[in-house]
C-alpha cells in the first residue's frame, strides 16, 4: 500500500486527512473519536477569549446533496475552559491543532500563547469565518493586517502557525503571501464561501443570522483554484480545504499543491468513519496510479518548475 505519511507545517502526520475546525463537536471526547476513526490530526473548534453562546437557531441547513450552509456564530467555551478538553484528547493520543479566533493581532497572540501551552502541535488562526462581526473575514481580508496578526503570533509561540484564509476576496493568494511574510508555517485554504438561502414562504433567510457560510461538494472547484494559485505564490505548505468527500477529491487537492487536507462536511454527511475510508481509498488510488508515496503526488498537476 502507498505511504500516506506526510510532513506538513513541521508536523509529522500519519495520513493527510485532518478533521476540519468546527466539525464533529468541540469536546475532547469528540476529538479523540475522530483520531480513533483514523484522522491524521484533529483541529479544534475555533476558541476565543471568552465564552460565546453563538447565534440563535437555526444555525445550519443542508443544501441538497451539495453541502451545508451554516452560521453558528463561533460558539465556544472560551480559552479558560478549553484546555481540559484538549487534555482529554491528548490522553487518547491524538495529534491536535488548536484553532483560535480574535479581533486583533494582540488578542490573537495572547490566545495563541494560551492555546500553545495546552500541548497542541500547531495553532491555526481563523482569519476567515465569513459572517462573524469583528472576527474572521473582517480581520482577515486585508493583507497588511494578516501579516501583522501572523507576525504577532509567531513572535509569541514556538509551535508552527497556520493561517486559514478566506476565499471571500478578490486575491486569496495575496493573503497567503502576506501570511508567509508574517512567518506562517502553512496556509489552510479555503474556509466557507459567504452564502444565503431564503425561505420564500416565511419571507426571510433560512438561517437565523441571515448570511452564512457554504461548505461541501459545491465549493470544491473554488477551493482547488485557490490552492492552485496559492501554491504558485508561496513556498510554505498549503493545506487544502473545501468539499473533500472522496479520496479522489483529496488527490485533486494534493496535485493542485496541497500537502494535506481538511475534511469537514463529509464527516457530517458520512459519519466519522469517513476518515478510515478516505485513507484506505487514497492508498488504493495511489497504488492504481503507480505512486508509491503521497509526497510524490504533491503539486503533480503543476507544470514542472
Ligand atoms: C463558523 C466559523 C467559521 O470559521 C466558519 O467558516 C463557519 C462558521 C461559526 O462558528 O459560525
Helix (H) or strand (E) holding 120: none
Q: Which of 115, 129, 146, 157 is catalytic?
A: 129
Largest CA distance in the chain: 55
| Burial bucket for residue 257 (CB in 10 Å: 0-12, 13-18, 19+) | buried
Question: Distance, CA 133 to ligand 1 centroid (Å)?
Answer: 11
Report the distance separating Cα 182 and Cα 145, nearest Å: 10
Q: How far is CA 139 from CA 55, 127, 128, 264, in A?
A: 20, 6, 8, 23
What pLDDT, on a 0 to 100 scale, did the predictor assign at position 64?
86
Report the distance separating Cα 99 and Cα 161, nearest Å: 10
What pLDDT, on a 0 to 100 scale, did the predictor assign at position 283?
98
| 26, 46, 196, 219: residue to mutate for ligand 1 pocket, most atoms within 8 A of CB | 46
What pLDDT, on a 0 to 100 scale, did the predictor assign at position 65?
85
Identify any residues that bridge with 188 across adjacent strands, giving them in sequence order.
164, 239
H-assigned helices in 157-273: 172-182, 220-233, 247-256, 265-270
Report the distance separating Cα 195 and Cα 74, nearest Å: 17
Report the distance separating Cα 149 and Cα 178, nearest Å: 10
Report the distance separating Cα 3 and Cα 208, nearest Å: 45
* Ramachandran angles phi, psi of 260, nearest 5°: -150, 175
Q: Is 257 in the pocket of ligand 1 (CB under 6 A)?
A: no
CB-CB contact of 215 with 192 (8 Å): yes
**Residue 129 annotated to the active site:** yes
Q: Is 213 in the pocket of ligand 1 (CB under 6 A)?
A: yes
- Nearest ligand 1 atom to the CA of 126 is 4
Report the distance separating Cα 119 and Cα 159, nearest Å: 9
Question: Distance, CA 195 to ligand 1 centroid (Å)?
Answer: 12
Quick count: other Cβ atoms within 10 Å of Cβ 134? 10
Residue ranges in the chain modelled with pLDDT below 70: 305
Amino acid at each position: 500500500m502507498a505511504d500516506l505519511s506526510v510532513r506538513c507545517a513541521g508536523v509529522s502526520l500519519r495520513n493527510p486527512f485532518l478533521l476540519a475546525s468546527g466539525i464533529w463537536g468541540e469536546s475532547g471526547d469528540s476529538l479523540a473519536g475522530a483520531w480513533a476513526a483514523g484522522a491524521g490530526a484533529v483541529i479544534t473548534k475555533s476558541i476565543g477569549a471568552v465564552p460565546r453562546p453563538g447565534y440563535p437557531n437555526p444555525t445550519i441547513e443542508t443544501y441538497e446533496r451539495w453541502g451545508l450552509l451554516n452560521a453558528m456564530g463561533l460558539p465556544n467555551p472560551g480559552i479558560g475552559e478549553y484546555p481540559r478538553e484538549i487534555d482529554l484528547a491528548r490522553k487518547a493520543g491524538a495529534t491536535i491543532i488548536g484553532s483560535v479566533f480574535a479581533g486583533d493581532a494582540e488578542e490573537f497572540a495572547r490566545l495563541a500563547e494560551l492555546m500553545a501551552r495546552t500541548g497542541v502541535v500547531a495553532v491555526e488562526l481563523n482569519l476567515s469565518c465569513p459572517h462573524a462581526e469583528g472576527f474572521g473575514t473582517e480581520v482577515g481580508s486585508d493583507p497588511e493586517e494578516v501579516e501583522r496578526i501572523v507576525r504577532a503570533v509567531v513572535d509569541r509561540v514556538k509551535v508552527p502557525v497556520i493561517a486559514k484564509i478566506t476565499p471571500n476576496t478578490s486575491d486569496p493568494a495575496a493573503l497567503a503571501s502576506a501570511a508567509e511574510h508574517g512567518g506562517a508555517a502553512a496556509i489552510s485554504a479555503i474556509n466557507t464561501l459567504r452564502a444565503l438561502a431564503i425561505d420564500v414562504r416565511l419571507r426571510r433567510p433560512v438561517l437565523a443570522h441571515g448570511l452564512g457560510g457554504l461548505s461541501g461538494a459545491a465549493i470544491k472547484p473554488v477551493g482547488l483554484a485557490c490552492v492552485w494559485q496559492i501554491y504558485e505564490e508561496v513556498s510554505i505548505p498549503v493545506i487544502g480545504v473545501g468539499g473533500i468527500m472522496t479520496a479522489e477529491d483529496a488527490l485533486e487537492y494534493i496535485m493542485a499543491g496541497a500537502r494535506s487536507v481538511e475534511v469537514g462536511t463529509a464527516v457530517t454527511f458520512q459519519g466519522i468513519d469517513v476518515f478510515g475510508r478516505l485513507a484506505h481509498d487514497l492508498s488504493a488510488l495511489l497504488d492504481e496510479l503507480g505512486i508509491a508515496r503521497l509526497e510524490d503526488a504533491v503539486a503533480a498537476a503543476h507544470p514542472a518548475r
